[in-house]
Amino acid sequence: MTVSASVFLRQLRSLRKQRMNAPVRVRARGTRRSLSRVERASILTKTGSRCHLCGGSIRPGESWQADHVLANSAGGAHSADNYLPTHALCNNYRWDYLPEEFQLILKLGVWARTAIERDAKFGRELANRFAKHEAHRQSRLRRASV
Ligand SMILES: [Zn+2]
């Protein structure tokens, strides 16, 4: 359990270092190929057309990604059996964080949300910084897609 800011910071840095320094894992054999329409439909059915990360619905025609359940870098195959559907945004934020690292990020996000909702001085500051960050990110995305 985290007991101080410095312990929390060390924990985050340590997890990042573990992830960055992990030995090169053996990738599963085979190359990634496009999934067939039938395979994609089968993958979407596994979760009842919901993103396996956030639980939100994936509407008909909406773009979604087939996410490896066991990462290819950890030996997971590029096969329909090893995929679950995700929103692109959820999959991009999930990235390749270690499970413990991702759980800390979720806890931090929920805590930040509560701080913002309570609208205390710190919560307002956090909301302002996040809004600036999001505006910058959105403008970068728009420039990249031109
Ligand atoms: Zn999602």
Low pLDDT (below 70) residues in the chain: 1-2, 23-30
What's the 131 CA to ligand 1 centre distance in angstroms?
21
Q: Closest Cα to residue 62, out of 89, 82, 80?
A: 89
What's the 3 CA to ligand 1 centre distance in angstroms?
31
Q: Closest Cα to residue 81, out of 99, 68, 71?
A: 68
- pLDDT at 1 (0 to 100): 56
What's the 53 CA to ligand 1 centre distance in angstroms?
5
CB-CB contact of 86 with 52 (8 Å): yes
- pLDDT at 30 (0 to 100): 64
Start-to-end Cα distance in the chain: 46
Element counts in the chain: helices (H) and strands (E):
5, 2
> pTM for the complete prediction?
0.76
- pLDDT at 28 (0 to 100): 56
User: 68 pairs with which residues across the strands?
Assistant: 83
